[in-house]
Structure 1
Amino acid sequence: MSRFIIFFFFLFIAPFHVLESPFYTGNTAVSKPPESYPKNYFRYPLNIAPSLAGNFGDLRTNHYHMGLDLRTQQRENLPVVAAADGYVSHIRIEPYGYGHAIFITHPNGYTTVYGHLNKFYMELEDFVRNQQYATESWEQDIDFSPGQFPVQQGQFIAWSGNTGGSEGPHLHFEIRDSGLADGHNYNPLLFDLNIPDHVPPALYRLGIFDRNQSIYENNPRMFPLHKKVQVGERIYTPADAVIKVPYGKFSFGLSMQDKMDNSFSFGVYKADLYVDDSLYNEFKIEECIYGDSRYINAGIDYFMRYDGHGYMQHLSRLPGNHAPFYNSAGDGVLQLNDDSVHQVEVEVLDVAGNTSLLQFGIQRDSSVHFPENKMGDNIVQKLAPNQPATFENAAVQISLDENALYDTVLLRYNASNAPPEAVSALHSIGDYRQPVHTAYTVRIKSAVLLPDSMKKKVIMVMQSGRRKDAQQCIWQGDWAAARWMNFGQFYLKLDTLSPTVRPINVYDGAIFIRDQQLVFEAKDETGDLQSFNGYIDGRWIMFRQRNNRYTYDFDDRCPPGAHTLEIRAVDLAGNETVYQCSFENRAK
């Protein structure tokens, strides 16, 4: 049945006829009208041929990518220019995230963001440096008024770099709505930045999930896909033209990537699921606020990704997935009510309109079953999405809000002996391969009576798979609390060890002639430092941070001559390490 006939039926016949669908589907949602974006208003912010290392909606750890990563020929310090007339409204300097970033507000209601920069243009750089020394802080978040730093389209604003959370030289570029809070971002490719794209998306594997139970208790069936090329599009099929599906509810997942000319592989822009020419689910990532970008963990098979098997995106909406990327008339959960063969088509598009199609048939078969999935032991409570939940016993308490879970979680718990420096048991809470959307509270009772002076030295340690982290605690009597974004293993640790400070290029009596910087590595075994500060001749100097490395570039606080240096590093528990030495600057 063609889509035109479907349209004719619902327009003229359906109002007078009750149609029983062969499928079970979830609640319907109304599609939003298409947004109108200004074309050719913004220019490409680099003076080189456009090429991307990442697109809007690219699949990243715990977030959809919220902008474009523009390639800089594997080099740093390329000139970055303003995409349109406007004014510098904000700058940010941080050790992770954007690194050095400029925000430019434009008269058409949009703001552009430029991240991972090395340096700002001279007037702005001088202003920011004065603020850093005035506040004795390298990290900065500064707002500006329209008249302070106006810019014109094409004006030099910064040097590209590799700062913050960047893993290689590139420019991160965003387009935001100036009037909306929470980082309301739009897909920059919709603004026609003249980035060539003639390559359709690539499809790799189809997954079928058992939706009679939680997605986290699933063991999906997988089907490799085969490609055949036709004029203007690519068509993919599984080896079996008709896939047998079990009785009951099921949904699809798809491993897929977008492609572009002279670029890498990216997240897809749009994927529509049709069954017998009826639309059952639509995914389109056109805009997003930063708070919603974490919904990627509901949009992918999280187990598969965590276990290192790549990304598979759900062609359905999980019960606790409230992201605005699903605009169609269904949640993508299906159930066949007859034994006929039904035709499935998944249409995957990029912003340029390049299209790939997945086509196959499905048929109900009572002899087919999903692979058995062993749920494991130590299940203590069933936690449902869209409602608050708690679990507690005599030694631990957890509290989750109504937005914390994407699907039902069968909470596993056990207690065991913690490391020698611990002052509590080791509490295993949940499965670290089950994602959490919002921070939840873990409260642990100390197994040791501690005076208030010692409680300041206690931190809560979390081990979640390969990740280890620590936080300061909030105490209520003998209970210590902290908030976390992962399930895992938790315990209280009495931390009396000071952080390590290792000089890289300085020692007592060192002489600097050509090398005009001081470099240190500083870290704590339980996590990030609370602070790292340096002083030359008793005056604060500005170290920039890159992971555990701290670098001070000689400036007017280190003129030629003999100097004393003092470094102070403090960890989360307040333990401090002090390093002191003398050196001489003999620069000419």
Structure 2
Amino acid sequence: MKLFCFLLLFCNALVGQNQYPKDYFRSPLDIPMQLSGNFGELRPNHFHAGFDYKTQQREGLSVYAAADGYVSRIKISTFGNGKTIYVTHPNGYTTVYAHLQKAVGSIQELIKRRQYEEKAFEVEIFLKPNQLVVTKGQLIALSGNTGASEGPHLHFEIRDSKTEFIINPIFFGFDSFLKDTKKPQVTAVYAFPLDNKTTVNQSLRPIPINLTLQKDGTYLADPVLANGKIGFGIIATDTDDVSFNKNGVFEVQAFYNGTPTYGYQFGTYSFDEMRYINVLIDYARYKKSQQRIQRLFRTTPFDLSIVKTDESNGVLSVLPNLSGTYRIEVADFFNNRTLITIPIAYDEKAAVIPKETTPSNYFIKAKKEYMFEKDNWTVTFPANTFYNDFDLNLSVANKVLTLHDDTVPVHSNFTIKVQDSTHTALEKEKMFLGRIEGGRISYNTTTVKENTFTTKVKILGKYGLVLDNVNPVVSIGKPIEGKWITTQKELKLSIYDALSGIKSYNAYLNDQWILMEYDNKTRLLTHDFSDGVVAEGANILKVIVVDQMGNSTTFETHFFRSQIIK
């Protein structure tokens, strides 16, 4: 029955692929499709939600509506997806186009109008079906590098319009734009002892397993000798024939003596599930080495819908007088498969490699709520803040709270409070609870009530009260004071804040608010003179920048500009 249920789950996943229309959507770009990132790829704190199209290492490529529909949402943000357009289609799906340089036509006119109405660069607009209708192949934007993008590309998603579940675009016929004859690459296999007594190859800690390529193209692992409960994990990537870079794999399945034990396919999931990546992988190793080991077991169930598992959650019990064969299959959408066979046998030899030790003074059970009070600090962990039970290190020294370290993943917010009666009321207005990482301080939104500072966070580590009474820095690369700048198309300034970070920025030409776009990566504010606010002749520019603690800097200059270019 267990085998039947597991296979039924995977059969349902395969049938589900066929429910999507294959010829409804066109590619959003007119260039050959090359991907710098695919659906489900492992990213910091999330799975990748779509395709990242390469744009020939440049911006400004034409972006087209993938099908008939209407622009249902526009979001302009400094972070995340940057400038983003959402198009809802009559077939029940919504396509998303992100990291854009700019929209075009009536879409751009609406954005610019709303920005000047709200006097803000960052805006979000929701539209009704009859407001901004687009047709399949209509030019809607130019590709860019906005938001958290690390280089010019187009991020493209397909979502279910009702549920907002994101769906792998490959299901919609986008496989026809790719050629892929290459098997996924498994660069490492790890065996995990899952309790304090179990050894794997005489190790009490996770250990790599050597693989040997066979003549038939499969891999055979060196024997795993263990006792007790163990699990396995892999480091795996996939490459197609045209994109030339390593992306995520599509499907992973594990079997023990021919019986399915654990697997997942990157087909569809919700945004609420994204953070479970931190328990799908070996998070501690990722934080220490940046290696993402995809675990093929779970010690505590979690609500990631793509995971299909047996009753033991992929955990194997290696018992005396029993041996077995573990098989891992890693596949891409084109059914190129990498197969790994691992012989497993019982062994009771003593450990040679000891368990890693971490300083700790409390034991945390993930399903329970905890409150810790130490000196003037209070930390509250609601139930299910963590994925697994663990030994917590908590201490206070030199006015800094140490909450373990960031090798233990956190699923939901917990609360930190600190009492302070040593600073003045004016100083408290300029203070926040910051995370301290080496010489870097990260700002956290902090409330202050009398002597109590409170913040909610999702990362373990060191925390302390930070006083920020330093004004932001505003500068201009090429001085324009008293100069004619008729040939300049844009006006650029640099803004920066060393501690709490930029909260707001406003610019004025001759006391009239002007739009300045902010690029967080370059710290540049840019005004396009084509907005038509600049006056003929003399102009006075004023820019006011405010940080999260209310410190502000005002930059003023004047220049001359003619609208008539000879």
CA distance in structure 1 between the partners assigned to 2:45 and 2:462 by the alignment: 19
The one of 524, 527, 536 equivalent to 1:560 is 536
CA distance in structure 2 between the partners assigned to 1:488 and 1:446 by the alignment: 20
CA distance in structure 1 between the partners assigned to 2:317 and 2:136 by the alignment: 54
Unpaired runs of 5+ in structure 1? 1-6, 12-26, 418-424
C-alpha contact (below 8 Å) 2:3/2:260 kept by paired residues: no
112 and 439 in structure 1: CA distance in 2 versus 1, 3 angstrom threshold: same
User: 2:320 aligned with 1:334, yes or no?
Assistant: no
CA shift digits 1:127-172 (9 cap, x unpaired): 1101100000111110111111111111111111111111111110
> CA offset at residue 227 of structure 1?
3.3
29 and 569 in structure 1: CA distance in 2 versus 1, 3 angstrom threshold: farther
Greater displacement, 379-388 / 425-434:
379-388
User: 2:489 aligned with 1:516, yes or no?
Assistant: yes
CA distance in structure 2 between the partners assigned to 1:214 and 1:457 by the alignment: 51
> CA offset at residue 300 of structure 1?
1.2
CA distance in structure 1 between the partners assigned to 2:541 and 2:333 by the alignment: 55
CA distance in structure 2 between the partners assigned to 1:369 and 1:339 by the alignment: 20
CA shift digits 1:286-306 (9 cap, x unpaired): 112222112111111122222
Q: Report what 2:411 is aligned to.
A: 437
Q: Report what 1:260 is aligned to.
A: 240
CA distance in structure 2 between the partners assigned to 1:558 and 1:278 by the alignment: 72
> CA offset at residue 371 of structure 1?
2.9
TM-score, scaled to structure 2: 0.92
TM-score, scaled to structure 1: 0.88
100 and 206 in structure 1: CA distance in 2 versus 1, 3 angstrom threshold: same
The one of 493, 499, 511 equivalent to 1:538 is 511
User: 2:491 aligned with 1:491, yes or no?
Assistant: no
524 and 318 in structure 1: CA distance in 2 versus 1, 3 angstrom threshold: farther
CA shift digits 1:444-480 (9 cap, x unpaired): 12151533x4422111111246863112421233221
CA shift digits 1:257-313 (9 cap, x unpaired): 122121121111211110100111112221122221121111111222222352211
> CA offset at residue 201 of structure 1?
0.7
CA distance in structure 1 between the partners assigned to 2:44 and 2:204 by the alignment: 21
Amino acid at match of 1:163: T
CA distance in structure 2 between the partners assigned to 1:557 and 1:299 by the alignment: 52
Q: Report what 1:31 is aligned to.
A: 9
C-alpha contact (below 8 Å) 2:252/2:331 kept by paired residues: yes
The one of 295, 298, 303 equivalent to 1:317 is 298
> CA offset at residue 10 of structure 1?
7.5
CA shift digits 1:6-41 (9 cap, x unpaired): x9x978xxxxxxxxxxxxxxx999837332222222
214 and 272 in structure 1: CA distance in 2 versus 1, 3 angstrom threshold: farther
Q: Report what 2:435 is aligned to.
A: 462
CA distance in structure 2 between the partners assigned to 1:585 and 1:300 by the alignment: 57
CA distance in structure 2 between the partners assigned to 1:168 and 1:505 by the alignment: 25
The one of 358, 362, 366 equivalent to 1:376 is 358
87 and 537 in structure 1: CA distance in 2 versus 1, 3 angstrom threshold: same
Tell me the percent identity.
Answer: 30
CA distance in structure 2 between the partners assigned to 1:57 and 1:314 by the alignment: 15
Find the residue that maps to 2:501 and give its secondary structure.
Answer: coil
> CA offset at residue 254 of structure 1?
0.5
C-alpha contact (below 8 Å) 1:320/1:407 kept by paired residues: no
Q: Report what 2:224 is aligned to.
A: 243
CA distance in structure 2 between the partners assigned to 1:411 and 1:140 by the alignment: 42
CA distance in structure 2 between the partners assigned to 1:441 and 1:29 by the alignment: 43
> CA offset at residue 522 of structure 1?
1.2
Q: Report what 1:4 is aligned to.
A: none
Amino acid at match of 2:161: S
Equivalences for 1:69-218 in 2 at 5 Å? Answer: 69-180=52-163, 183-193=164-174, 194-196=176-178, 197-212=180-195
Unpaired runs of 5+ in structure 2? none
User: 2:236 aligned with 1:223, yes or no?
Assistant: no
173 and 363 in structure 1: CA distance in 2 versus 1, 3 angstrom threshold: same
Amino acid at match of 2:144: G
Amino acid at match of 1:355: R
RMSD of the alignment, in Å?
2.4
Greater displacement, 389-398 / 257-266:
389-398
> CA offset at residue 494 of structure 1?
2.2
Q: Report what 1:22 is aligned to.
A: none
Q: Report what 2:377 is aligned to.
A: 396
C-alpha contact (below 8 Å) 2:204/2:351 kept by paired residues: no
Over 6 Å off, 4+ runs: 27-30
CA distance in structure 2 between the partners assigned to 1:284 and 1:371 by the alignment: 34
Q: Report what 2:525 is aligned to.
A: 550
553 and 228 in structure 1: CA distance in 2 versus 1, 3 angstrom threshold: farther
> CA offset at residue 229 of structure 1?
6.2
Q: Report what 2:342 is aligned to.
A: 360
CA distance in structure 1 between the partners assigned to 2:3 and 2:250 by the alignment: 28
Amino acid at match of 1:561: G
CA distance in structure 2 between the partners assigned to 1:50 and 1:374 by the alignment: 45
Q: Report what 1:21 is aligned to.
A: none
Q: Report what 1:584 is aligned to.
A: 560
467 and 276 in structure 1: CA distance in 2 versus 1, 3 angstrom threshold: farther
CA distance in structure 2 between the partners assigned to 1:362 and 1:285 by the alignment: 29
CA distance in structure 1 between the partners assigned to 2:255 and 2:514 by the alignment: 62
CA shift digits 1:539-569 (9 cap, x unpaired): 1111111112211111211133111111111
C-alpha contact (below 8 Å) 2:42/2:248 kept by paired residues: yes
> CA offset at residue 81 of structure 1?
0.9
Q: Report what 2:448 is aligned to.
A: 475
> CA offset at residue 252 of structure 1?
0.5
308 and 339 in structure 1: CA distance in 2 versus 1, 3 angstrom threshold: same
C-alpha contact (below 8 Å) 2:191/2:232 kept by paired residues: yes
Matched positions, count: 548
Amino acid at match of 1:262: V
